[in-house]
């Protein structure tokens, strides 16, 4: 049973959360984590997880930038309820709210000119006062403005007292109301400000919980003023529960930025991280449940709560992510991994063979690119391209041994790891050589590389015919020329 302990609003209302990314060209992993937390919270409480695309910046909000967000969420398996809400399509409603506030005397027209405001700020700067709008039109009659002068609509915020938020993560936070100036709701061209749009959308979407990055905590104090001012005007403006999640920092303790490496969900996908890894990593980055490290989707839904969210910033640790990815790769279904690897390898890849090889391949890889690289030998065509290191192993002595190995393996009817191992061990003993010494040139001949899965696994995966053909291709190079001249 889901608990309501951190759901004060949920006593009488079903939980509705929202994730509200702005299209920027990529889905920042910090944002993705906020989305994950919002989604998990709603799922945990059997509520609704809504998605709102904050696409009011027309230049940045291209379809491509929006698709990056939608693709990233889909890849992470975060399915939101209903269609996404597009903020840009709701400008009329935002303006309507501003007009209602104006009519009710909760907002007012401000005719201050840009020059006037610049001067006001300059004076505040000189007097070392905080820079905020001084309310000069708050009590003035609009008729005092010149005929047809442009105006903005500003909210009337309380002049005294304080605004308190019982944040579900940060605890009790408050500001002196004098710090909240009469901010703009509608610009002179009639377009809504971000501060207005966010809160109107949150309320119209019926959000009970606003879970987002703590860089928005200051906005919450302002957005609350709009909510409170609207309470006497329209129904449905109930204060939501706020939960402001500390940001992610890099391993040096500074706020995560480009210089720390990849920031976008898509980057991690391209690095060969599995979606379940990133899901779990982002979950654990800032939330914990005892010392449990890995959660299935179902466990995460069953256990997620806001009480478990850390109050301090979390540190992104690439090494930990890669180790976790290795664990998830080893647990993942072979056919699924084979399908992902096949895409990376290209049309020559054979999914069935990859699936068969997967138990061997996946024990080594920490990401899907490494895994695909490790599998590539299976699909090489003869003559194999050799790495420089591999080529250097194939001197005349080694090639002569490969001829011997070929002859022995030709007669091997039991093409299994055990039989092949017994066979080559016997040969190594005859030569009074370690098996490793024998395996090195053999690996070079079979894979063109000096690293690969275990040599007997390689032989079995390639099969007798292909193995012998690859060995012979290397073994014959020197002997063939001897035969021809002899
Ligand atoms: N669109 C904002 C962002 O991407 C989030 C706004 C909010 O969550 O209130 O940072």
Q: Is the CB of 195 under 6 A from ligand 1?
A: no
pLDDT computed for residue 257 by the predictor: 84
Nearest CA to ligand 1 atom 4: 21
Amino acid 477: pLDDT:
55
Is there an atom of ligand 1 within 6 Å of 65 CB? Answer: no
Give the per-residue pLDDT at 11.
Answer: 55
Q: Is the dihedral of CA 236, 237, 240, 242 positive or negative?
A: positive
Distance 418 CA to ligand 1 centre (A): 60
Ligand 1 centroid – CA 117 distance (Å): 28
Distance 384 CA to ligand 1 centre (A): 53
Distance 86 CA to ligand 1 centre (A): 13
Q: What is the position in ligand 1's atom list of the atom closest to the CA of 219?
A: 9
Catalytic residue among 258, 292, 343, 380: 258
Residue 254: predicted pLDDT: 87
204 alpha carbon to ligand 1 midpoint, in Å?
Answer: 16
CA 266 to chain centre: 7
Dihedral, CA of residue 106, residue 110, residue 114 and residue 118, to nearest 10: -60
Does residue 187 line the site of ligand 1, with CB under 6 A?
A: no
The candidate with the shortest Cα–Cα distance to 32, out of 271, 253, 316, is 316
Q: Which two tokens stand for residue 435?
A: 């098996």
Give 106 Cα–ligand 1 centroid separation in angstroms.
Answer: 25
Q: What is the pLDDT along the chain (486 residues), one digit of tens a residue?
A: 344 445 555 457 899 999 999 999 999 999 999 999 999 999 999 999 999 999 999 999 999 999 999 999 999 999 999 999 999 999 999 999 999 999 999 999 999 999 999 999 999 999 999 999 999 999 999 999 999 999 999 999 999 999 999 999 999 999 999 999 999 999 999 999 999 999 999 999 999 999 999 999 999 999 999 999 999 999 999 999 999 999 999 888 888 888 888 899 999 999 999 999 999 999 999 999 999 999 999 999 999 999 999 999 899 999 999 999 999 999 999 999 999 999 999 999 999 999 999 999 999 899 999 999 999 999 999 999 999 999 999 999 999 999 999 999 999 999 999 999 999 999 999 999 999 999 999 999 999 999 999 999 999 999 999 999 999 999 965 444 434 333
What local confidence, expressed as pLDDT, does residue 480 receive? 43
Number of other CB atoms surrounding residue 67 within 10 Å: 12
- Domains for the chain: give ranges and CATH numbers: 1-84+198-331 (3.40.50.620), 334-375 (no CATH), 388-485 (1.10.10.350)
- Ligand 1, from 212, 223, 243: best to mutate by most atoms within 8 Å of Cβ? 212
Q: Is the CB of 226 under 6 A from ligand 1?
A: no
pLDDT at 453: 92
Quick check: CB of 438 below 6 Å from ligand 1?
Answer: no
Whole-number pLDDT of residue 258: 83
239 within 8 A of 167, measured Cβ to Cβ: no
How far are the Cα atoms of 146, 191, 194 from residue 93, in angstroms, in the given order? 28, 11, 13
Smallest CA separation from ligand 1 atom 6, residue: 20
- Provide CB contacts within 8 A for 478, sequence distance 6+: 396, 399, 400
- Model confidence, pTM: 0.90
Q: Ligand 1, from 18, 19, 20: best to mutate by most atoms within 8 Å of Cβ? A: 20
- pLDDT value of position 6: 54
* 447-366-329 Cα angle (round to 5): 100
- Please confirm, yes or no, whether 258 is among the known catalytic residues: yes
Using most ligand atoms within 8 A of CB, pick from 19, 22, 26 the residue to mutate for ligand 1: 22
Residue 198: CB within 6 Å of ligand 1?
yes
Which atom of ligand 1 sits closest to the CA of residue 198? 9
Is the minimum distance from the CB of 54 to ligand 1 under 6 angstroms? yes
Q: Is 339 exposed, middle or buried (0-12, 13-18, 19+ CB in 10 A)?
A: middle
User: Does 223 contact ligand 1 (Cβ within 6 A)?
Assistant: no
Q: Where are the alpha helices (DSSP H) in 294-434?
A: 297-303, 318-331, 334-345, 351-361, 368-375, 388-393, 396-410, 417-431
CA of 20 to the centre of ligand 1 (A): 5
């Amino acid at each position: 049973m889901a608990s309501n302990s951190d759901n004060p609003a949920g006593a009488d209302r079903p939980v509705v959360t929202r994730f509200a990314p702005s299209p920027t060209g990529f889905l920042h992993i910090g944002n993705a984590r906020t989305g994950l937390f919002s989604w998990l919270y709603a799922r945990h409480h059997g509520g609704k997880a809504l998605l709102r695309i904050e696409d009011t910046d027309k230049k940045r909000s291209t379809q491509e930038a929006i698709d990056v967000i939608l693709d990233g969420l889909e890849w992470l398996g975060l399915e939101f309820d209903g269609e996404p809400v597009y903020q840009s399509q709701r400008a009329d409603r935002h303006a309507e709210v501003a007009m209602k506030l104006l009519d009710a005397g909760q907002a007012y027209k401000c005719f201050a000119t840009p020059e006037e405001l610049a001067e006001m700020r300059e004076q505040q700067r000189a007097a070392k006062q905080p820079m905020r709008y001084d309310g000069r039109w708050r009590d003035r009659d609009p008729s005092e403005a010149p005929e047809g002068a442009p105006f903005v609509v500003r909210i009337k915020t309380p002049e005294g007292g304080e605004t308190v938020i019982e944040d579900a993560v940060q605890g009790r936070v408050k500001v002196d109301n004098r710090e909240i100036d009469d901010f703009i709701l509608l610009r002179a061209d009639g377009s809504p400000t971000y501060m207005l749009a966010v809160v109107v959308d949150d309320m119209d979407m019926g959000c009970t919980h606003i879970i987002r990055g703590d860089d928005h905590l200051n906005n919450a104090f302002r957005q609350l003023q709009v909510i409170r001012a609207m309470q006497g005007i329209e129904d449905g403006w109930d204060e939501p529960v706020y939960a402001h999640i500390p940001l992610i920092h890099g391993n040096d303790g500074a706020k995560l930025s480009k210089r720390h490496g990849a920031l976008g969900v898509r980057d991690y996908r391209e690095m060969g991280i599995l979606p379940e890894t990133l899901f779990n990593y982002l979950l654990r980055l800032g939330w914990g449940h005892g010392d449990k490290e890995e959660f299935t989707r179902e466990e995460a839904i069953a256990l997620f709560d806001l009480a478990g969210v850390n109050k301090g910033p979390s540190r992104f640790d690439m090494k930990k992510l890669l180790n976790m990815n290795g664990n998830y790769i080893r647990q993942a279904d072979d056919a699924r991994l084979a399908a992902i690897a096949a895409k990376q390898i290209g049309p020559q890849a054979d999914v069935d063979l990859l699936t068969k090889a997967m138990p061997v391949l996946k024990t080594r890889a920490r990401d899907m690119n490494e895994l695909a690289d490790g599998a590539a030998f299976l699909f090489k065509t003869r003559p194999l391209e050799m790495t420089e290191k591999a080529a250097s192993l194939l001197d005349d002595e080694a090639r002569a041994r490969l001829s011997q190995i070929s002859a022995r393996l030709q007669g091997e009817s039991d093409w299994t790891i055990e039989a092949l191992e017994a066979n080559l061990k016997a040969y190594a003993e005859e030569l009074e050589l370690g098996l490793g010494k024998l395996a090195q040139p053999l690996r070079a001949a079979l894979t063109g590389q000096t690293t690969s899965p275990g040599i007997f696994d390689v032989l079995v995966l390639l099969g007798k015919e292909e193995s012998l053909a690859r060995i012979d291709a290397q073994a014959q190079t020197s002997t063939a020329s001897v035969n021809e001249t002899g």
